[in-house]
Structure 1
Amino acid sequence: MADQFFELADDDRALLPDDSDIAFYIEHGWWLSPKLLTDDEVDTLREASERFYAGNRDRHLPRRPKRLSYWVPEMGDIQRHNDYIHYEDDTIGAILRKPLIGAVAARLAEADAIRIFQATLIYKPPRQEEESNVVPWHFDRDYWATSTSDAMLTAFVPLHDCNVEMGTIAMIDGSHRWKELDRGAITARHFAEIRREADAALHATAEYNGAAVKKVPVEIPKGHMSFHHCRVYHGSGSNRSSQPRRAISLHMQDSANEYREWNLADGSTAEYNHDVLVRRTADGRPDYADPEFCPTIWRERRDGP
């Protein structure tokens, strides 16, 4: 199948990160975008999320991966995570595939094309005492040991104005440039499993690098989104407001990313949820370019028509 190219209107091209924005991302590991989604698009996402929580599905996953994050009402009023929202809900998936989002990610990752890697619908109830609302410090690359790329990145997409009181995302500035204490110790555990040790691990890694721990909460106006590098430490606090915090975590991969076998510290082989869902490559590996689960959302024509 021939490569699919995408085009942007001039107004959208004006929203792409310029050289100074890219330099900021390279130095700090994150970047706050201008308004990439219209108010109508954000409202549509929010309305679709409510239908999803009420039981609407345009399709279901063909099988359930072992480490799938998937809130159901029986779990109660905790923080909700629902993976593969871009696959199960057509309305949400269509907006997340907006070429402008992919074009921004391509500029920041210095990639020629961008695919969705995963998309998770998130809901933080307005319960300050709820332990699950606090997301401990972690970086996404730790969970993506089966991916070859170090250029992967995430867009955090709130479905409203998102401030510190609501428990917005916070970055550890510049931490994507740190060396890890022991990369062989990767366990690929979900951040909920490392809650009590995450802060100590963060500070130990900072000390190892002779770096300060600079925490930067990113307040995000409606329609804007924050992008962060796959190696930058990030987390979020409790929701102290009177309203739920609604968001989508949109993980993206550059076109060079592919599956690799990776052995974990305990001797087991790392697995990602895709590995039981996506098609196989010619040599039998999970295909992280499977358009059903990992659609391409940006590829720019560079050599003329």
Structure 2
Amino acid sequence: MTVQDSAAFTLTDAERELLPSDEDVAFYAEHGWYLSKKIFTDEETELLEKSSERFYGGQRDRTLPVRPPKLAYWEPAKGDVQRHNDYIHYEDDTIGRILRKPLLGAVAARLAEADVIRVFQSTLIYKPPVAGEPSNLVPWHFDRHYWATSTSERMLTAFIPFHDCGEEMGTITMVDGSHRWKETAANDATSLHFAERDRSELDEMLEQNARYNGVEVRKIPIHIPRGHVNFHHCRTYHGSGANVSDRPRRAISLHLQDGGNRYREFFRTDGTKVSYNHDVVVRKNADGTPDYTDPEFLPVLWSTS
């Protein structure tokens, strides 16, 4: 796997024009999400789609050295359900190279107000054009709940469709401003992924938190033009609906960490130790804990130094 060196963290004058303005950064801080300008060219999004089809057909440039216990990994035997494949930036060189585009990392750094941005996770997603497919419905959740072993509160996600993506296709939908809410209680069951929990329970949690904060739930489906990217804060509630179009919804969810993020131990109240898939994949620190700066699996996308 090729990792960019520090000399690669530069932008052209044209790319600098695509960075978030001060007003955009303020919008992100207030609303918890931001729709970028056009970051990827049509050639790059076409290549993402072609590479994803090769991947679904079985092509791998490499595979993980060990299979984590909760790896999301669609295989053809699972059928025409919503597909999720983690670590796509590692297993496919072409996709990994495009995702390491410095402009993408620079935009994330502006929003997170960070000097360094690293990959945290990447998931290739395919939502089939089957209106009644239950797996296409993603319930309300926020990503920080599943990153309990991370120290950072500035992590964010870049949602990257390979095409124009609107409500008909089941685009990502933001709960506006929800990253600023206080939670009703420290319910450590939230460290379980939404796929492991009942959808109605998650819907009720969203409503409870809104009532607790004295606000209305404002849901905003994001229409994302081809080549543009929607970023959201790690505490912004989001979900997505059915794909009622006649085309699959193809995208990558690229989770990003700021340079200060590190591993921490986290235990649920019943004494169960929480783990993330990285914990059995990445190299170890001197004290034996997982190294969330491992460049092989968690490469740097942007650095100002």
Contact preservation (8 Å) 1:4, 1:299: no
Matched with 2:235 is 231
TM-score by length of 2: 0.96
1:111 has 2:114 as partner:
yes
Identity of aligned residues (%): 64
Alpha-carbon distance change, 3 to 241 in structure 1, aligned in 2, over 3 angstroms: closer
Matched with 2:24 is 21
Counterpart of 2:175 (choices 161, 165, 172) is 172
Contact preservation (8 Å) 2:8, 2:102: no
| Partner AA of 1:250 in structure 2 | L
Paired with 1:235 and 1:33, the residues of 2 have a C-alpha distance of 19
Contact preservation (8 Å) 1:83, 1:121: yes
Q: Which secondary structure state, in structure 2, belongs to the residue aligned with residue 121 of structure 1?
A: strand
TM-score by length of 1: 0.96
- Could you tell me how far 1:23 is from its partner in structure 2? 0.3
1:132 has 2:135 as partner:
yes
- Could you tell me how far 1:197 is from its partner in structure 2? 1.2
- Could you tell me how far 1:267 is from its partner in structure 2? 1.9
Matched with 1:58 is 61
Matched with 1:267 is 271
Q: Which secondary structure state, in structure 2, belongs to the residue aligned with residue 127 of structure 1?
A: coil
Paired with 1:16 and 1:215, the residues of 2 have a C-alpha distance of 26
Counterpart of 1:193 (choices 172, 191, 196) is 196
Paired with 1:10 and 1:29, the residues of 2 have a C-alpha distance of 28
Matched with 2:77 is 74
| Partner AA of 2:80 in structure 1 | D
Spell out, residue by residue over 1:159-217, the C-alpha distance to the aligned partner (whole angstroms, 9 max, x if none): 10000000000000000000111224244222222323111110001101111100000
Give runs of aligned pairs for residues 1-305 of structure 1, distance below 5 A: 6-194=9-197, 195-301=199-305
Paired with 1:6 and 1:152, the residues of 2 have a C-alpha distance of 20
Spell out, residue by residue over 1:95-154, the C-alpha distance to the aligned partner (whole angstroms, 9 max, x if none): 000000000000000000100000000000001110000000000000000000000000
| Partner AA of 2:248 in structure 1 | P
Contact preservation (8 Å) 1:170, 1:216: yes
Paired with 2:176 and 2:94, the residues of 1 have a C-alpha distance of 34
Contact preservation (8 Å) 1:146, 1:272: yes
Q: Which secondary structure state, in structure 2, belongs to the residue aligned with residue 197 of structure 1?
A: helix
- Could you tell me how far 1:6 is from its partner in structure 2? 1.0
Paired with 1:276 and 1:98, the residues of 2 have a C-alpha distance of 27
For the aligned residues, what is the CA RMSD? 1.1
| Bigger mean CA offset, 135-144 vs 263-272 | 263-272
Q: Number of residue pairs matched? A: 300
Runs of 4 or more consecutive aligned structure 1 residues displaced over 3 Å after TM superposition: 2-5
Paired with 2:298 and 2:273, the residues of 1 have a C-alpha distance of 22
Q: Which secondary structure state, in structure 2, belongs to the residue aligned with residue 196 of structure 1?
A: helix
Q: Which secondary structure state, in structure 1, belongs to the residue aligned with residue 252 of structure 2?
A: strand
- Could you tell me how far 1:266 is from its partner in structure 2? 3.1
Spell out, residue by residue over 1:18-44, the C-alpha distance to the aligned partner (whole angstroms, 9 max, x if none): 100000000000000000000000000
Paired with 1:163 and 1:238, the residues of 2 have a C-alpha distance of 11
Paired with 1:97 and 1:298, the residues of 2 have a C-alpha distance of 9
Alpha-carbon distance change, 165 to 21 in structure 1, aligned in 2, over 3 angstroms: same
Paired with 1:3 and 1:56, the residues of 2 have a C-alpha distance of 30
Paired with 1:265 and 1:166, the residues of 2 have a C-alpha distance of 39
| Partner AA of 1:202 in structure 2 | L
- In structure 1, the gaps of 5 or more residues are none
Contact preservation (8 Å) 1:187, 1:266: no
| Partner AA of 2:120 in structure 1 | F
Q: Which secondary structure state, in structure 2, belongs to the residue aligned with residue 156 of structure 1?
A: strand
Q: Which secondary structure state, in structure 1, belongs to the residue aligned with residue 251 of structure 2?
A: strand
| Bigger mean CA offset, 52-61 vs 195-204 | 195-204
